[in-house]
Amino acid sequence: MHFRLFLFMLPFMITSCGYRKWLGPSETQRRLASSSLQQQLREDDSAAEQVAIEKLTSLHYYTMIGHKNLKDFDEVLEFESISYQNLMATRIQIDEIEEFITAEYAQILNSKEHKKLTHFKSTLVKFAGLSRLHLVSLENLLETLALSDLIPSKVVELGRKELEEHYKSLQLINDFQIHEKNIDHLSHMIDFKFDSNEKKFAPSINKMGSVNGSEFPSKVWSLTFDDGPTPSSLKIVASLKRNNFKATFFPLGLKMGRHSPEAKDLLSSGMEIGAHSYSHRDLTKAGNLSLDKEISEAIQKVGEQHKQKVGLYRLPYGAGMNATHIRERIAENDVIHVFWSVDTLDWMPQSAQKIADRTLKLMKKSSKDSGIILFDDTHKRTLLSLPEVLNYLKKDGRKVCTVGQVVQIMNQGAPIICQ
Amino acid sequence: MSVKFIVLLMFVVSCASPLVTPEAAPAAKTAPVKEFAPGELILATQLLTKIFDEEMAPLSCVPDTDEASLLLRTIRPRMEVVQDDMEAMLDDSKEVANMIQNCDKNCTCGQVDDLIREHLVILPKAQKKMLARKRNDKELNRCLNYAQSTFCQSELYKQLEREKSDFSFEEEEVE
């Protein structure tokens, strides 16, 4: 019950947080849309009815998506869950449509055109009469418009089975799929914008200077490959391309050379490239001169050959982030450090199946179904373990982005479109 | 020789005599790197991997998968040296025969077998048979049981414990 109350309060909370500015259409846009509908109402009743039905259909779709996520949320009761984020996104969309229709109704009332008023009411009644579920979608709206008397019977609580059946049938409709995707995108944006409008990641000696995947929005994964390039790297690239995925590669400086065909091919593959030291030594045991070579020179070398600025760096073994002088050196080079949240341990000799099993198990453990996966692109076993992992990533609406894309998305609050 | 000169001479000599020998100074600065037997490193890595994969109960000194993950990162630089050495040996059939012959004594049969498979090394039938016989679950369990009961008291664990903070992801916020 508390959660229903909370859900009811969401639009007010969201409005007070200022989300409208970036989530929905602006006030001017809304007025323009409203006046154009008014124009249509004057010109053609059937066109107006079509617009009204479109709006009511959207309201119905979003309401069903909302109910589905509400049921899911009631099961997990986690505010960081995907269902909670989806709920917030859905509420915002519903609120938008309800405001739009309310504004239209106010205009018609003010115009005192009885024919239009009758037509408006009959459109609502017609829509409500389609099914009990359509009636549920209109409940709040009719109450706001003080038109509850139009409801032929009292709306009752939706049963899980009834909702699931209806939801399944809706999922076959293209238009409904678009509405679902819209909620998915909005949900990610809410995830990013919740804390602040400041950049989440930037080169720095503080926490914002490194990313480890735990901050990733739900259902977003990054594949990363260290220690290459080797002949395996190119086979891995081919496998990724077959699946339309992009990954982040962290090659070693010493393997960058004009005479290395693997380096040339990897850098021109369209994959994201970071740097991973010069020779893969443990930097906690390196002196100042060595640090120059392992950090600055490696970044420079990869960047020069790649003909692009390198924005990401990964320490060998992830060692050294507790040493201020190493963090300073990384920040000075204007790069963000990249850890990982799923360690495949593929550096050890073992079967490809073992690597795939471990990776999937760790991925399934992630509460937000997101993170950074660490592979090496130096072993055949890694290549052989990939298909199973890539297949898993293709399912259930997961998105595969490069680390740089996620950093950019999270800093700018843009929707997730990576593949 | 005056008394003053003798006192001065004694003072100069005492000051000049180093308390620390020049050779000893850098040694005191950098802690000596303790070397460990390849078998011990391989076995410890297998043990930590089993705990990380939740296929084995945690130990008092490795209470959860996070700790196992941290210790695996810490042991990895040493293990890479071991693996490089072993991979180099794969080119020499005598070395390969030797590795197979002795793998059960140092619990490295699993590692040797995985490397041979990965690098597509063709073994004579007798060696293949011997390795298959030596690499079995019973043998692995014997080795892991031994590692389980000794790891927390081992010098290797103590060394990893000293080094592990370098490999930690828990960053301290800098003011």
Band of the pLDDT at A183, cuts 50, 70, 90? confident
In this predicted structure, what is the pLDDT of residue A283?
95
- Selected residues 77-136 of chain B with any CB under 8 Å from a CB in chain A: 77, 79-80, 83, 111, 114-115, 118
- Are the CB atoms for A196 and A413 separated by under 8 Å? no
State the Cα–Cα distance between residues A343 and A64, nearest whole angstrom. Answer: 38
In this predicted structure, what is the pLDDT of residue A263?
86
Q: What is the pLDDT of residues A353-374, one digit of tens each?
A: 999 999 999 999 998 899 999 9
In this predicted structure, what is the pLDDT of residue B17?
41
Mean pLDDT (chain B, rounded): 83
In this predicted structure, what is the pLDDT of residue B149?
95
- Are the CB atoms for A60 and A70 separated by under 8 Å? no
In this predicted structure, what is the pLDDT of residue A35?
54
- Are the CB atoms for A399 and A418 separated by under 8 Å? yes
Entry pTM: 0.65
State the Cα–Cα distance between residues A3 and A70, nearest whole angstrom. Answer: 9
State the Cα–Cα distance between residues B73 and B166, nearest whole angstrom. Answer: 10
- Residue of B50, B71, B86, B167 for testing the chain A interface, max A β-carbons within 10 Å: B167
State the Cα–Cα distance between residues B11 and B127, nearest whole angstrom. Answer: 72
In terms of DSSP H, where are the helices of chain B?
A: 3-16, 24-29, 38-52, 65-89, 93-102, 109-118, 125-134, 137-150, 155-163
pLDDT greater at residue A135 or residue A155:
A135
In this predicted structure, what is the pLDDT of residue B30?
42
pLDDT greater at residue A125 or residue A249:
A249
Check CB contact under 8 Å for B168 and A343.
Answer: no
Which one-letter amino acid corresponds to residue A115?
K
A82 CB-contact burial (10 Å; exposed 0-12 / middle 13-18 / buried 19+): buried
**pLDDT over threshold 50, residue A184:** yes
In this predicted structure, what is the pLDDT of residue A12?
42
B171 touches chain A (CB under 8 A): yes
In this predicted structure, what is the pLDDT of residue B83?
92
Residue B114 has its nearest CB partner, among A282, A320, A349, at A349
pLDDT greater at residue A56 or residue B174:
A56
In this predicted structure, what is the pLDDT of residue A69?
85
**pLDDT over threshold 80, residue B106:** yes
Mean pLDDT (chain A, rounded): 83
**pLDDT over threshold 80, residue B50:** yes
Q: What is the pLDDT of residues A410-419, one digit of tens each?
A: 887 666 667 6
Which tokens is A372 given? 């950074």
Check CB contact under 8 Å for B79 and A317.
Answer: no
- Are the CB atoms for B114 and B49 separated by under 8 Å? no
Closest-approach residue (CA) in chain A for B31: A285
pLDDT greater at residue A408 or residue B6:
A408
**pLDDT over threshold 50, residue A14:** no
Q: What is the pLDDT of residues A290-349, one digit of tens each?
A: 999 999 999 999 998 888 899 999 999 999 988 999 999 999 999 999 999 999 999 998
Q: What is the DSSP letter of A318?
A: G
State the Cα–Cα distance between residues B105 and A378, nearest whole angstrom. Answer: 30
**pLDDT over threshold 60, residue B104:** yes
